[in-house]
Amino acid sequence: MSKWNSVWPAVVVGVVTSLIVAAVTAVVTYLMRDPPAVKVNVALVLDISKEMEEEFGNSTRFEAAVAKLVKFVEPRNADNLSLWTSGGACEGQGADQKVAFGTNNSDRIQKALTGLKLEGRADLGDAVISASGDFNNLLQYPEGATKNVLILTAGKSICKGYVGEIKGRLKDMKEDLSVNFHFFGLDVPARKERRLRRLGRDFPSVTTRFSDNPKGLARDLDDAGKDIGDGVVVTETPTPTPTESTESTESTESTESPSPTPTGSTEFP
């Protein structure tokens, strides 16, 4: 037997092993990659304290909030969505992420919403701070991506000082994060409503809406949805519109009316 014949199996094994390692590395790298940035990012924060079981029009605050959020997320499968709850304990123990950020998340969030139960008090300040923390990643949430935190709350008997905690968070956040906070008060007591409205006056990134029945909440969520817009991939490059040649040299303007821009565009310059 030649020397080459004795070495050949080892060479083959080495090459095959190298190819397998390279393939596994490529797969792991692909799976661990950051997902593409999305234009619209929405973190939902729902108060699940016992205060949410009080009457709210023809239902309870909780029933109305869950029903309206289920409808809110239904057409937003292209958006980057997450769900947080606030209830059960104070001092940072009551904030809980039920569904992590992701696209194609509507079904998961709807399922999580319909499975929630009310418990204890709500540490709303900690929940808002936690929900907005993901936006610190400027690679995943670059300039041009809209970042939103929607908070639905009863606004009373909450852990001490939550408005002050949220105010502190707003002051600490860098300007380039550009996170928009949308507060939805469900029949909130007058004193808490005044404090939340003042928060909206002090910080342009904060919008406050208050309703005392499910119909009003649905209207407020619709208005917020229009402000937020539709989600598309930020990093997608728009297809350039071809320019048509014209025989006339007397004018640079086309004599044809421009085609209207489709409202369902899937591109974001």
Q: What is the mean pLDDT of residues 221-248?
A: 58
Q: Band of the pLDDT at 9, cuts 50, 70, 90?
A: low
Q: Output the pLDDT for position 153.
A: 92
Q: Return the domain boundaries, the chain.
A: 40-228
Q: Which two tokens stand for residue 268?
A: 């974001």
Separation in Å, CA 150 to CA 21, 42, 57, 130, 143: 45, 7, 21, 13, 20
**pLDDT by residue (tens digit) across 184-197?**
999 988 988 998 89
What are the residues whose beta carbons fall under 8 Å from the beta carbon of 238, sequence distance 6 or more? 267, 268, 269
pTM for this entry: 0.72
Q: Which CATH number fits domain 40-228: 3.90.190.20, 3.40.50.410, 3.30.460.80, 3.40.50.2000?
A: 3.40.50.410
**pLDDT by residue (tens digit) across 35-67?**
567 889 999 999 998 889 999 999 999 999 999
User: Read out DSSP for 55-71?
Assistant: EETTEEHHHHHHHHHHH
